[in-house]
Amino acid sequence: HEAVTDATRKDLGGGKLRGLGEVSPGAAADQALANLDDWTDEKWVSGWISRCYTRPEPKGVVLIIAPWNFPFNLALMPLIPAIAAGNCVIIKPSDMNPACSPLIQALVEKYLDNECIKVIQGKRDETTALLQQRWDHIFYTGNGLVGKIVLNAAAEYLTPVTLELGGKSPVIIDETAQMDTACERVSLYKWMNCGQICVAPDYVL
């Protein structure tokens, strides 16, 4: 975690706790390992003479396009369920993280199966080239404008897409609210990660 913290602080600033927030995929990986047998079991649906069941199967090859604001979290959190489901994965980290992105690649190459999981570095041209390929699923986290580009590229092959997009986040505070608590919580999420988080409040109603 020290290398992750150091790289995060180089790219994004902040104290040591900011870096520690990037290692949460470790807990998600532990959860996946603990539940993997149950998740992959055939599930009986119905039947008496014949047996009807659902059987989870891998989709195939998954593309993860990660943003810059949570470089490790948003590259590795989608990776965990993708691997748990039996897929091969390509990770495209943000080119705006000159310290974090190479470290993500180094960690993946050191600890994971390089025949099944790879990291591709680059900027717009490389991302465009990746989107021109045929994928079985695409994860994209970022802004709505690029999200439209991702969806448009995915439509060529009817590729399913998971989008986590930024946008306007209203906060509703009614007459039953305790104002001290409400103000603390709104302030926390407004300024968390300097406001670069998808749930940062934009306005209060």
List, by residue number, the catalytic residues: 164, 198
Residue with tokens 């103000």: 183
Half-sphere exposure in the Cβ direction for 102 (13 Å, CA): 7
d(CA 72, CA 53): 37
d(CA 49, CA 197): 53
Whether the CA torsion 23, 148, 98, 80 is positive or negative: it is positive
Q: In angstroms, how far is CA 68 from the centroid of its own chain?
A: 11
Closest CA to 120 of 94, 92, 96: 92
Q: In angstroms, how far is CA 113 from the centroid of its own chain?
A: 19
Collapsing DSSP to helix, strand or coil, 54 comes out as strand
Which residues pair with residue 65 across a beta bridge? 92, 140
- Report DSSP letters for 146-178, one per residue: HHHHHHHHHHTTT--EEEEE----EE---TTS-
